[in-house]
Amino acid sequence: MRACATDEGSCSCCVMLKEINRLRTYFNTTMNNLEKEYSQTAQSLDNIEASYTAFSAALFNEFKCLGPIVFDTIIIYKQVFINLGNGYSVDTGIFTVPRSGVYSLAVTIYSDSGSPGSRLAACAGLLLNGQLVAGTRDINMDDQEDGSTIVVALHLKAGDKVAVNLPIGCFLCDDSNHYNTFSAFLLYPE
């Protein structure tokens, strides 16, 4: 500062140096804040992507029937359309909830008795941790084929097991049109 008082050229230099230091501090602070915000935004996006949970699968890809059976059986849907989050297992037919939240679950069923007047038993149950949540049953001889749908929204916890049960005496038929499906997707993560 003493040089600024005696020499005008030095004074401009000092003022410029102060301004450069002020701008450098402002720039560094702004950059640090932007980097922090970017990091938080990137983390939020990673969390959102990690929460993507959706699966949809069909029973068979060729005409084939499952059942009638003599004991309740978990239906294993082998034709997977999508399995984001890898919660659905084609080995067990069970959807293991990867993240807690509200889920939409849907089951469609279809059966074909094979000939008019034959007994038709199209049924299924949606299970949560082995307990029936919702079911559909159509046992008649009025027509050759029947179908039905279950759609529910449930609050599920990570680790819950969701499956579709084929009850005793029931059977389902499917082909490449995929009449029998099991689907779930996360609506609202926790």
Residue 79 has a CB neighbour count (10 Å cut-off) of 17
CATH number of the structural domain spanning residue 95: 2.60.120.40
- Are 41 and 66 found together in one domain? no
Average pLDDT, the chain: 84
pLDDT for residue 129: 97
Residue 122 burial by CB count (10 A; 0-12/13-18/19+): exposed, middle or buried? buried
- Are 67 and 100 found together in one domain? yes
Task: Look at the pTM and tell me if it is higher than 0.85.
Answer: no
pLDDT for residue 104: 96
- Are 91 and 119 found together in one domain? yes
pLDDT for residue 155: 96
pLDDT for residue 106: 96
- Are 63 and 118 found together in one domain? yes
- Are 60 and 39 found together in one domain? no
Q: Checking DSSP bridges between strand 54-58 and strand 181-189, what pairing results, if any?
A: antiparallel
Give the HSE-up count for residue 128: Cα atoms under 13 Å, Cβ half-sphere.
Answer: 16
Percent of the chain whose predicted confidence (pLDDT) is above 70: 83
pLDDT for residue 143: 61
Please check the confidence at residue 5 and state whether its pLDDT lies above 70. Answer: no
Please check the confidence at residue 87 and state whether its pLDDT lies above 60. Answer: yes
- Are 33 and 60 found together in one domain? no
Tokens of 153: 């929204």
- Are 169 and 107 found together in one domain? yes
pLDDT for residue 147: 77
- Are 45 and 56 found together in one domain? no
* pLDDT, tens digit, 9 for 90 and up, residues 6-37: 565 567 777 788 888 888 988 888 888 888 98
Q: What is the domain range of residue 40? A: 2-49
- Are 78 and 167 found together in one domain? yes
Residues with Cβ < 8 Å from 119, sequence gap 6 or more? 113, 139, 141
pLDDT for residue 130: 94
pLDDT for residue 6: 59
Q: How many domains does the chain have?
A: 2
